[in-house]
Amino acid sequence: MQFFGKMISSIALKGFIRYNCYMNNPLEEIKKMFGSIGSNKEKSVLGIDVGSSAIKIVQMREVGGKTILETYGSISLGLYKEEDGSAGQVINLKRDKLVLALEELIKEANVTTKRVAMSIPAASTLVFTIVFPASVKESDLKTVVPIEARRYIPIDISEVSLDWWVLPKQSFVTPENNREKEEPKERVVLVVAVRNDTVDTFKQVLLDANLKNDFYEVEAFSLVRASVEHDLSSILVADIGASRTKLVFLEGGVIRDVHVINRGSEDITQGLVSSFDISFEEAEDIKKRSGLNVSDELKRNNMQQSIDMIVSEMKNVVYQYEQKNGSNIEKMVLSGGGSRMNGLLSYLIEKLPFDISFSDPFSQTESPEFLHEALAEAGPEFAVAVGLCLRDLKK
């Protein structure tokens, strides 16, 4: 697994805002309904997900035990590039441009709170497990985990912040006697490493944008919180972004592993560009407007080839996980902007051996009924931002 790819300061650029609520924000009606219960705007929280080609934001509020969706929005960063920028591109972006994009999105989406929860992207994190003998006490982990973690982290340990916790023990039934349970002989620890310079960059971005940070969270955890509810089966959450695809494995409602495939939806666009000598804008339009339902068979086959590269690596990762953990993935939940490509769901159902469905994070919020269909459509793209808000409001 490649670690730390592109930095936060190398995010991409400016473009269009979609799925957001402007002057005649329909979500204003539900805000008015609950307005009399409490008018303190700081009870609201803004989840910010900075991706490699877009920024996604969601503002939510908890009132009377209900989680209220107040506004949400997404801005493509491609046009913030000084020359030849396009929506959907993955491009390095300086901090001042990132701040500008965030400020414009906040303004257009009618955000009313300064309180922020922000995700740390997969490119700047590493999540892995370390297996210790059961004889290692939890009180000893503070000493032994940083020592062992050095073997997994390809940069100096002083450049990252570490967090870890012991995964729940899983007793199992022995073949000899299905009534007897054998205690595990290992202690499995899930470790998260985050680049310090990434956090420092985000702190400065929020400071420049006059926002108050409540916490940062690795995006895999926000993603799972918004995408999986009360399900203890073996689940794979696959987030298809512009530059990479994140795979999060869960067992018993607990994250067991995280893997990053360094291919994403932009690779599909670039495949069209290189094969048919068309502009990035035209290729992106074909992908977004028609996807795998495009009438041109050559273009459809080309996109399928790009997807097959992701699927092939996904199968390898799933196989390795199942062999290592002795369990089979039962379900897959799709999220990320790239997951909504026309025809992709049915194509993946043909290629992969488990049940597949879309993430529906907005189903955990209260919103006007006439928006439910639009929110279900937009949901996979906003899963991380919703997950951030849910953690903040329910803590």
Please tell me the predicted confidence (pLDDT) of residue 193. 95
Q: How confident is the model at residue 64 (pLDDT cuts 50, 70, 90)?
A: confident
Q: Rounded to two decimals, what is the model's pTM?
A: 0.85
Whether 116 and 49 share a structural domain: yes
Q: How large is the average pLDDT for residues 54-80?
A: 91
Say whether both 297 and 388 belong to one domain.
Answer: yes
Q: Domain boundary at 171, 194, 217, which?
A: 194
**Predicted confidence (pLDDT) at residue 23 exceeds the cutoff of 50:** no
In this structure, the answer to whether residues 186 and 223 fall within a common structural domain is no
Cβ contact 65:71 at 8 Å: no
Which three-class secondary structure state does DSSP give residue 44? Answer: strand
Instruction: With cut-offs at 50, 70 and 90, classify the pLDDT of residue 2.
Output: very low
Structural domain count, the chain: 2
Q: Give which of 196, 120, 184, 190 is closest to 148, Cα–Cα.
A: 190
Contacts 24+ apart (CB under 8 A), 29-35: 29/368, 30/68, 30/69, 30/70, 30/366, 30/367, 30/368, 31/61, 31/68, 31/70, 34/61, 34/63, 34/64, 34/66, 34/68
pLDDT at 4: 39
> Do 107 and 229 fall within a single domain?
yes
For residue 160, being part of any structural domain is answered with yes
Percent of the chain topping pLDDT 70: 84
Query: Would you say residue 1 has pLDDT above 60?
Result: no
Report whether pLDDT(13) > 90.
no
Per the listing, tokens 């912040």 go with: 161
Average pLDDT over residues 77-89: 74
**Alpha carbon 132 to its chain's center:** 29
2 occurs within a structural domain: no
Does residue 106 share a domain with residue 27?
A: yes
pLDDT higher than 80, residue 174: no
pLDDT at 87 over 90: no
Confidence band of 42 (pLDDT split at 50, 70, 90) = low
Instruction: Give the pLDDT confidence score for residue 135 in this predicted structure.
Output: 86
Do 319 and 207 reside in the same domain of the chain? yes
Per the prediction, the chain carries an average pLDDT of 85
Which stretch of 93-107, 173-187, 374-388 has the lowest confidence by average pLDDT? 173-187
**What's the one-letter identity of residue 248?**
V
For residue 45, what are the contacts with CB-CB under 8 A and spacing of at least 6?
59, 60, 61, 113, 115, 116, 117, 214, 388, 389, 392, 393
Give the CATH number for residue 25. 3.30.420.40
For residue 224, give the amino acid letter.
V
Helices and strands counted in the chain (H then E): 11, 16
Interior CA angle at 61 toward 59 and 64, to 5°? 165
Residue 1 lies in a domain: no
Task: Note whether residue 238 is domain-resident.
Answer: yes
At residue 37, the pLDDT reads 36
- The one-letter amino acid code at 63 reads V
User: Per residue in 270-302, pLDDT tens?
Assistant: 999 999 999 999 999 999 999 999 999 999 999
What's the confidence (pLDDT) of residue 184?
A: 61
- We report the CATH number of the domain holding residue 180 as 3.30.1490.300
Looking at residue 92, its pLDDT comes to: 72
pLDDT band at 85 (very low <50, low <70, confident <90, very high): low
The DSSP code sequence of 270-291 is HHHHHHHT--HHHHHHHHHHTG
| Residue 17 within any structural domain of the chain | yes
Contact 44, 91 (CB under 8 A): no
Last residue of a domain, one of 194, 225, 240: 194
Rounded Cα distance between 47 and 247, Å, is 21
Asked whether residue 54 falls in the same domain as residue 101, the answer is: yes
Same domain assignment for residues 207 and 354: yes
Ranking 1-15, 27-41, 279-293, 302-316 by mean pLDDT, the lowest is 1-15
**How open is the CA angle 104-105-106, to the nearest 5 degrees?**
90
Domain match, 85 and 72 both: yes
Give the single-character DSSP code of 91: -
274 and 386 both lie in a single domain: yes
Nearest CA to 255 out of 236, 271, 241, 269 is that of 236
Q: Which of 26-30, 218-222, 316-320 has the lowest mean pLDDT?
A: 26-30
Give the confidence band of 81 by pLDDT, cuts at 50, 70, 90: confident
**Residue 285 resides in a domain:** yes
220 and 186, same domain (yes or no): no
111-133 per-position pLDDT tens digit? 999 999 999 998 899 999 999 99
- The pLDDT score that the predictor gives to residue 18 is 41
Q: What range defines the domain where residue 208 resides?
A: 8-124+196-394
Q: Which residues contact 316 (CB under 8 A, 6 or more apart)?
A: none
Measured over the CA atoms of residue 4, residue 9, residue 11 and residue 17, the dihedral's sign is: positive
- Residue 230: pLDDT band (50, 70, 90) is confident
Asked if residue 115 belongs to a domain, the reply is yes
Answer with the residue of higher pLDDT: 186 or 56. Answer: 56
3-state SS record for 110-176: CCCCCEEEEEECHHHEEEEEEEEECCCCHHHHHHHHHHHHCCCCCCCHHHEEEEEEECCCCCEECCC
- In whole angstroms, give the CA distance from residue 138 to residue 29: 50
93 assigned to some structural domain: yes
Sign of CA dihedral 149, 153, 154, 160: negative
Strand partners for 67: 62
Task: Report the alpha-carbon distance of residue 16 to residue 76 in Å, rounded.
Answer: 5
Same domain, 162 and 254: no
Among residues 140, 175, 194, the one where a domain terminates is 194
